[in-house]
Structure 1
Amino acid sequence: MIIKGRGIARGSATGALLVSDAPLSFLSGVDPESGVIIEEGHPLKGESIAGRIFAFPYGKGSTVGSYVIYALARNGKAPAAIINREAEPIIATGAIIAKIPMIDRLEAPLPALKGGTEVTVDADAGTVSWQE
Structure 2
Amino acid sequence: QPIGFYGGIDAKTGIVIEKGSELEGECVKDRVLVFPCGKGSTVGSYVIYGLKKNGVAPAAIVNSETETIVATGAILAGIPCIDGIDIEDIETGDRLRIEAGEREAELTKV
Q: Return the offset for 1:48.
A: 0.8
Q: TM-score, normalised by structure 1?
A: 0.76
Equivalent position of 2:20 in the other structure: 41
Equivalent position of 2:92 in the other structure: 115
Structure 1 outlier segments of 4+, above 6 Å? none
> Any conservation in 2 of the 1:102–1:123 contact (CA below 8 Å)?
no
Tell me the secondary structure at the aligned position of residue 66 of structure 1. helix
Structure 2 matches for 1:42-61, cutoff 5 A? 42-61=21-40
The answer for unaligned runs of 5 or more in structure 1 is 1-21
Quick one: structure 1 residues 113 and 60, their matched pair in 2 at CA, closer, same or farther if it must change by over 3 Å?
closer
| Aligned residues with identical type, % of pairs | 46
> Any conservation in 2 of the 1:65–1:94 contact (CA below 8 Å)?
yes
Q: Return the offset for 1:45.
A: 0.7
Which whole-Å CA distance do the structure 2 matches of 1:112 and 1:103 have between them?
16
Answering whether residue 12 of structure 2 is matched by residue 65 of structure 1, we say: no
Q: Return the offset for 1:113.
A: 4.2
Equivalent position of 1:95 in the other structure: 74
The answer for unaligned runs of 5 or more in structure 2 is none
The one of the two structures with greater contact order (alpha-carbon pairs below 8 A, sep at least 6) is: 1
Q: CA RMSD in A?
A: 1.5
> Any conservation in 2 of the 1:102–1:121 contact (CA below 8 Å)?
no
Which whole-Å CA distance do the structure 1 matches of 2:99 and 2:68 have between them?
20
Tell me the secondary structure at the aligned position of residue 96 of structure 1. helix
Aligned residue identity for 1:68? V
